[in-house]
Amino acid sequence: MALLGWFFIGYLFRPYLPAAQIDSYIAGLILLAAAPCTAMVFVWSNLCEGEPRFTLSQVALNDAIMVVAFAPIVALLLGLSSILVPWDTLLLSVGLYIVVPVLIAQGARRLLLANGGPDQLAATLRRIGPASLVALLLTLVLLFGFQGEQILRQPLVIALLAVPILIQVYFNSGLAYLLNRATGEAHCVAGPSALIGASNFFELAVAAAISLFGFESGAALATVVGVLIEVPVMLSVVKIVNGSRGWYERGMPVANRASAGAELRSRQRRRQMKSHSMIAMLALAFMATGIRNVPAVAPAQLRIEAPWARETAEGQRDGGGFMTIVNDGKSADQLVAASSPVSSEVQIHTVQLENGMMRMRELPEGIAIPAQGRVELKPRSLHIMFIKLQRPLRAGEKVPVTLKFRAGGEQTVMMGRRAMAASMMSPMPAPPAK
């Protein structure tokens, strides 16, 4: 997915996407692909009559891998894209969305076995089964509902982000399916094997994207696009896997083929009933895109151009960030706050002449952005200030900065770092007097 994102989003589709969000979109695709699916695999496996014990072993293996590998893989791939992310946020996401649920489930299982034995555990699982499906559907409804406005407002962006996701799903599932056939695996193993290789743990991806880049960021939107297309696309993969069963089993040994054919008719009847249920759930989930009403007055249409920040020296605690904010809308807006994971605080500053010396001053009210106008944040003028950097900002790196506007909501941009030699041509004024 990283290669697909770099090629399609970073190169082929770049002219058609907001320039300030390119790196954020790529980061979202990487987060989505780095999290292999867990819960939904049981649904897909059930629809293709997969072997349940094999499916369970795959889910357990995925959980174990994600605990130790999700954060390093994401950090490596984002690092190759020169996108700086804090390790503590990645580890917190893994802890909250993988480790904690596993510990709670294991604790509940031990308690049930101790008090009522296997029968009590089985009865409890039967009771919570429908609730788990409802919770999964509710998750989809909330995700689509909160991002519904962006989905409806940016159809071209959604379509372009969907391209690498679609390629990954069909390539991964097709490759796994063919490899299983080539090695003589039963169809009930090949089905879930192909599906788990193409599906994603979208809850973790969305949560990590929001934690790292902000709710209104391109990364969050990219992960939600993955959710938006995953259900219908995975249902199409299920259809292909079920429809090709005869072709698949013709390549199996005769003994395996005979035993597999005995269950075919009953499986077809059960599959038809399950497919109807899934289609109904899918329709309800997509209705959620209309939950959030589009406001009567559209917010200012803001674009961020050429965001960059100075490289900082070792031990330097503060740094400056610059950009041009363009308002294409018919109503004025205001930049009121900013934040970034690379510093404890981000302030909005200007520069004033005091006693013959240029000094920085914080602007508590923010910066006004006129309607159909632009405001340039540049050295020795308006800028944002990174306060108490966690580590030096190095040339070539990109870090997420979330800008909060009074009417336009939040936008997360990736700020590139300029080398100190180039940025020192416009030295920063003195800091405010203490």
Dist. CA 153–CA 265, nearest whole Å: 46
Dist. CA 92–CA 259, nearest whole Å: 48
Q: What is the pLDDT of residue 284?
A: 44
Asked if the model's pLDDT at residue 98 lies above 60, the reply is yes
Dist. CA 398–CA 416, nearest whole Å: 4
Q: To 5 degrees, how large is the angle CA 95–CA 98–CA 99? A: 55
Q: Band of the pLDDT at 132, cuts 50, 70, 90?
A: confident
Asked if the model's pLDDT at residue 152 lies above 80, the reply is no
Q: 10 Å Cβ neighbour count for 426?
A: 13
**Do 239 and 350 fall into the same domain?**
no
**Do 212 and 329 fall into the same domain?**
no
SS (H, E, C) the chain: CHHHHHHHHHHHCHHHCCHHHHHHHHHHHHHHHHCECCHHHHHHHHHCCCCHHHHHHHHHHHHHHHHHHHHHHHHHHHHHCCECCCHHHHHHHHHHHHHHHHHHHHHHHHHHHHHHHHHHHHHHHHHHHHHHHHHHHHHHHHHHHHHHHHHHHCHHHHHHHHHHHHHHHHHHHHHHHHHHHHCCCCHHHHHHHHHHHHCECHHHHHHHHHHHHCCCCHHHHHHHHHHHHHHHHHHHHHHHHHHCHHHHHHCCCHHHHHHHHCCHHHHHHHHHHHHHHHHHHHHHHHHHHHCCCCCCCCCCCEEEEEEEEECCCCCCCCEEEEEEEEECCCCCEEEEEEECCCEEEEEEEEEEEECCEEEEEECCCCEEECCCEEEEECCCCCEEEEEEECCCCCCCCEEEEEEEECCCEEEEEEEEEECHHHHCCCCCCECCCC
CA 164 to chain centre: 14
- Tell me the pLDDT tens digit for each residue of 308-341: 888 888 888 888 999 999 998 888 899 999 988 8
Tokens of 410: 């939040």
Asked if the model's pLDDT at residue 278 lies above 60, the reply is no
Query: Does a structural domain hold residue 232?
Result: yes
- Tell me the pLDDT tens digit for each residue of 102-129: 788 888 888 888 888 888 888 887 888 7
Q: What is the mean pLDDT of residues 231-245?
A: 88
Query: Does a structural domain hold residue 102?
Result: yes
Q: What is the mean pLDDT of residues 144-153?
A: 70
Nearest to 45 by CA among 33, 57, 34: 57
Q: What is the pLDDT of residue 292?
A: 39
Q: What is the pLDDT of residue 322?
A: 93
Asked if the model's pLDDT at residue 288 lies above 80, the reply is no
Query: Does a structural domain hold residue 297?
Result: no
* Structural domain count of the chain: 2
Q: What is the mean pLDDT of residues 251-270?
A: 48
Q: Identify the weakest region by mean pLDDT among 143-152, 234-243, 308-317.
A: 143-152
**Do 93 and 180 fall into the same domain?**
yes
- Mean pLDDT over all residues of the chain? 78
Q: Band of the pLDDT at 81, cuts 50, 70, 90?
A: low
Query: Does a structural domain hold residue 143?
Result: yes
Q: What is the mean pLDDT of residues 371-389?
A: 91
Share of residues in the chain with pLDDT > 70 (%): 80
Q: Which residue, 290, 319, 343, sits at the end of a domain?
A: 290
Q: What is the pLDDT of residue 432?
A: 55
**Do 222 and 330 fall into the same domain?**
no
Q: What is the mean pLDDT of residues 240-255?
A: 77
Q: What is the pLDDT of residue 375?
A: 94
What range does the domain containing 264 cover?
2-290
Q: Using alpha carbons only, how large is the chain's radius of gyration in Å? A: 25
286 burial (CB, 10 Å; 0-12 / 13-18 / 19+) is middle
Q: Which residue, 242, 257, 290, sits at the end of a domain?
A: 290
**Do 271 and 375 fall into the same domain?**
no
**Do 107 and 47 fall into the same domain?**
yes
- Tell me the pLDDT tens digit for each residue of 359-369: 888 998 899 99
Dist. CA 193–CA 198, nearest whole Å: 9
Query: Does a structural domain hold residue 430?
Result: no
Asked if the model's pLDDT at residue 413 lies above 70, the reply is yes
Asked if the model's pLDDT at residue 279 lies above 60, the reply is no
Q: What is the pLDDT of residue 298?
A: 38
Contact 393, 323 (CB under 8 A): no
CATH number for position 395: 2.60.40.1890
Q: What is the pLDDT of residue 429?
A: 54
**Do 276 and 134 fall into the same domain?**
yes
Dist. CA 172–CA 42, nearest whole Å: 18
Nearest to 24 by CA among 398, 417, 403, 409: 398
Q: Which residue, 290, 322, 353, sits at the end of a domain?
A: 290
Dist. CA 304–CA 298, nearest whole Å: 18
Query: Does a structural domain hold residue 109?
Result: yes
Asked if the model's pLDDT at residue 252 lies above 80, the reply is no
Contact 383, 431 (CB under 8 A): no
- Tell me the pLDDT tens digit for each residue of 341-358: 888 899 999 988 777 787
In the chain, the N- to C-terminal Cα span, in Å, equals 50
Q: What is the pLDDT of residue 254?
A: 44
Q: What is the mean pLDDT of residues 395-424?
A: 76
**Do 319 and 244 fall into the same domain?**
no
- Tell me the pLDDT tens digit for each residue of 3-59: 888 899 988 998 888 877 888 888 888 888 887 777 677 777 888 888 888 888 888
Contacts (Cβ under 8 Å, ≥6 apart) of 265: none
Q: What is the pLDDT of residue 266?
A: 47
Q: How many CA atoms lie within 13 A of 393 on its CB side?
A: 30
Q: Phi, psi at residue 405, to the nearest 5°?
A: -110, 150
**Do 279 and 418 fall into the same domain?**
no
Q: 10 Å Cβ neighbour count for 155?
A: 9
Q: Band of the pLDDT at 293, cuts 50, 70, 90?
A: very low
Q: Band of the pLDDT at 376, cuts 50, 70, 90?
A: very high
**Do 174 and 253 fall into the same domain?**
yes
CATH number for position 57: 1.20.1530.20
Query: Does a structural domain hold residue 295?
Result: no
Query: Does a structural domain hold residue 433?
Result: no
**Do 336 and 232 fall into the same domain?**
no
**Do 132 and 233 fall into the same domain?**
yes
